[in-house]
A and B are shown apart, each in its own frame.
Chain A
Amino acid sequence: MKAFEELQAKAKASWETLSTSGKTRIIVGTATCGRAAGAMKTLGAIRAEVSRQGLNAQVEMTGCIGLCYEEPLVDIIKPGGARVSYKQVTADKVPALMEEVLAKGGQAADMALGAHASDGTGLPALFDLPFFQGQERRLMARCGLIDPNNIEHYIATGGYSTLDKVLSGMQPDEVIAEVKTAYIRGRGGAAYPTGMKWEQCRAAKGYPKYVICNADEGDPGVFADRTVLESDPHAVIEGMIIASFSVGSDSGFIYIRDEYPLATEIFRNAMEQARERGVLGKNILGSEHSFDIQIRQGAGSYVAGESSAQMSSIEGGRAMPRLKRPRSVEKGLWGKPTSMNNVETFANVPHIVQKGGAWYSSVGTEKSKGTKVFSLSGHIVRTGVVEVPFGTPLSKVILGMGGGAPSGRVKGVLPGGPAGGVIPAELFDTPIDLDAYDKLGSMVGSGGFTAFDDSTCILQLARYCARFMRDESCDRCSTCRAGGQRLADYLDCLDNGQGTPQDLPKLQALCDVLKQNSHCGLGQTAPNAAITGLKFFRQEIEDHINKKLCPARSS
């Protein structure tokens, strides 16, 4: 298609100018994680230093490469040289770094994290760091390397070429077939096969049909989607447009949580740039297909991450889940056929359609295909974001990439925030797999691991999770509303040393009731931490009852 070829040629030309201009490029990671560590002050200091010293340099911004623990991160590319990442460059360190690297032509090896390519500088290779060992960076390939506020960076690195391929002659059924072959399952937590969802939505009768991107990433401690949105927003837009073509939709929404103002700003800007270039809107890239997206921001609700609750919120209601018949693909937003997918699911779509479903499903386990982005937080040395193939043992992620706990031993992890239950260190050999984790009573969830060390009391952790879920209950069904409170009370009582041996079967029964009888996923997962706590840390809980002793706090 001619329209796209022109766009691509222009983008590639300006991309190449970056390396041929003879200027040194200084690139600051300014995603939310970088900003929290002071990246905007660093950026200001660099700009001031460049103009003060009259340096032949251009200052740029990028998203997050995943190395949140080393923020603020500054990359320097000298003309003809390799990209070098510098760690923890707070504003006060800027003059020294600029002096050493730009004025004196040195390496500042003490501040360097690594070079992106071997250039004989003697600096370690960035991607040889333990943090990157075992990662397979598909969705993260551009993260931290391109400017998310510049669509040309995306196009020059292959972006929107899949959309062009789709609109230049593929049929919706062919696209859906490719997604089905890939067997990608929804990344938001429910793990429903995406291809099937699209097929059902395509078959459903009704107009208009809606495509919704769920960017509510409500699970606390999880920031995989935020990283993708802030670092490579066009990948999500491209995935959404391909989805809209496949299901036959011309209208889309992205629901971004209130806590992600920067992601919202970056996404809004990305949409504007896409519209200006005819990539989004009417007759996309000169084709017959039209599709546009509206942003909706949340207002502080965890349960708004649930699909039907989110649709209610977009309609202007309380974010309360409804029963799942009829399903959203038949009657979703305003009663119309709706296909809702998660940020990461959409970002995978261009890869799948470009390289084929078979390529995609060549990594992973039998029923969990492809890669998954995970955020690492809590008692862990290297907090950040990694992307690994399904089937990777958890130990490799937590102990290898994450570096284990700063003090002592990792006792376990919470996967997917307070709803995901706990996985003890003894089971870290378990490969990351959607179904295997369900069998443990846990779940892969939306994609985060929060590690906790031996100083953490399992009862207090379970109580924290129960209280969080209680506070976030929509309060519609009494099982969740009253049961959630009761669960928190039970755990409180056990933690205070007031428990009796008879309490454990009662606690188990309460958990079973919540799991079986709650209206939606919130109530059903609310007892996960308590259930897995009882299953994997029973001795510790019994010690609270029988010995009136907390092993975690007394050790």
Chain B
Amino acid sequence: MNLLSLLIFLPLFGAALVLFLPASQTKYFKWITLGFCAVELLAAAVVYHYFDLSNPSFQFVEQTDWITLSLGSLGAVSIDYLLGIDGISLPLVLLTGVVMLVGAVSSWQITSRQRAYFSLYLLLTASIMGCFLALDFFLFFLFFEFMLLPMYFLIGLWGGPRREYAAIKFFLYTLLGSVLILVVMIALYLSAFDPYSSLNAQTIVHTFDLRYLADGHNYLPNSLLNGLSAHQIMGLDARLFLFLVLFAGFAIKLPVVPFHTWLPDAHVEAPTPVSVVLAGVLLKIGGYGFIRIAYNIFPDAAAEYATLLGILGMVSIVYGGFNALAQSDLKKMIAYSSVSHMGFVLLGVASLTPEGLNGAVYQMVSHGVLSAMLFVVTGVLYDRTQNRQIEAYRGLAKPMPAYTTLTAICFFASLGLPGFSGFVGELFTLMGGFQSEFMPKWIATASTLGIVLAAAYFLWTLQRMFFGPLWTQKGVESLLADLTPREKIMLLPLAALTLVLGLFPHFIFDITSATITEFLKKFSLN
């Protein structure tokens, strides 16, 4: 079996194992999950080991026919089980391995309905991996939408007091996003065809293969999405219109500001490990979708709308920052900081420069590590006191010194202190914004405000919660024990990782640069 299939089916096998083991083995479920996540990370590392850094195209490609439908006079459509990995998806696959492992450790505190929880968790792992590895648009969509189900139940069953509301809100928002993607998918495959199979089969074979969809020559003449045909939808050129629809679909996932309101609710109600996974990996699928699908298929539209997208990114950065400043709930503050940080990803992608795109992928990895850490930190406090209000604590440094140190590290890393990964990501995306030929400079200038805001809300929170004399509500002081070894196991590697990535950013850039250079050739033609 190919390595990439292994990455998808290993967690599925784990989920089945957890599901069918007898109830007497309940205490081993978390160990099984941990084991599978560890092997998953190992497998991802093996992929990295054998990955050819200088090759910009897809590697480890694996293709099997899956569904073939005849469309009568219109030819046929073929849906393949098609996997592959390149410099854009590899960092995210590695990130997924790390974050899912941390999430598995963080899941130790789950005590109710363990069988359901751990099988859903492994199912989620499989579908996230599938999303990053799929090269067939249809397959990608299946994983993308199927991912919502385990997430929905994880939030809805193990979440906080308003979990039902948060779960259905999360589901409805992201589902709306995925149906928008579905529309574009349908329009795409009606227009595009597979040049090789069509030659062999003597009829038009429509395809979902992203490699063919990305090539403008593979579109039927005079079809809806052929670049030369002037089809219009609602007064807009069809390609531009459908790019916007696709963008909206992924923007909900990222999230970009007008579509972000599901995120704070979902985060606040979700249990700690689910928050970690949600912020650490799930949001990245939005950014990955921009690059892999929206930009890859509609380069002309992406260049056309670069300014608009850049402004949306800037608005996300600034608006998220101001909102984070205003929050009294620690978890909500971090959720809004996620909105702000993911805005940098959009800014970098929209800039269409090597710095911007490399920086965007880097920022996704960096934010994945940092937000996982931030949510673990919040979870530590919440586990002890069941209270996440910032004003409920003061002077936590005294009873919890190790906790304070690690919190400070991840706060500083998040606000972009040089030496940590957050700095590199923000720096490169902003550089991209400044150098871009596709958008005006003031967008990047305004976005720098986001860094200032990040410093403000992180430092202010640090000051309010950890410094000064110890003060909490009555009866809580005795609960404030320092980090347990399990929590250290989660936080220390993440802290090390953000430091390593910050000091040696080429670990990521080496992977991404070849692919992105090739990718950007599409845009230099116009």
Tell whether A pairs with B: no
Which residues from chain A sit less than 8 Å from chain B, CB to CB? none
Q: Write the residues of chain B forming the contact surface with A, with a CB cutoff of 8 angstroms.
A: none
